[in-house]
Amino acid sequence: MATIADLRTQLSESQDRNRSLEAELEAIRADQKRADGIKKQGDMYMLEGHRYCAACWELHKRLAPVVKVSKFVSGGHSLFLQCSRCKQEFDALRNP
């Protein structure tokens, strides 16, 4: 049988989880509201001159910025684009 202390702990954990889910839902709603006019271009979405990850938008309805990243590869550095949320990589030449 659960003690009062155990029940209080469970209640506190449930309240924390609920606050976290409410914050995530609010962020999703804000992204969807902001995304009016978003257009698919190449492998990404564009909105007001900014690149956004297609996977994050299509799967989760989240506006996740795509940023330029430089990575060392044999023979030098390579420039590519990467989602700041899911880390998916995009070809910089295919998505100017």
pLDDT digits (tens, 9 = 90+) for 25-84: 998 888 888 878 899 988 899 999 999 999 999 998 889 999 988 877 777 777 789 999
Q: What pLDDT score does 67 carry?
A: 92
Cα 38 from Cα 5, distance rounded (Å): 50
Q: Which burial class, exposed, middle or buried, applies to 46 when counting CB atoms under 10 A from its CB (0-12, 13-18, 19+)? A: middle
Instruction: Please tell me the predicted confidence (pLDDT) of residue 28.
Output: 85
Provide the pLDDT confidence category of residue 1 given band limits of 50, 70 and 90. Answer: low
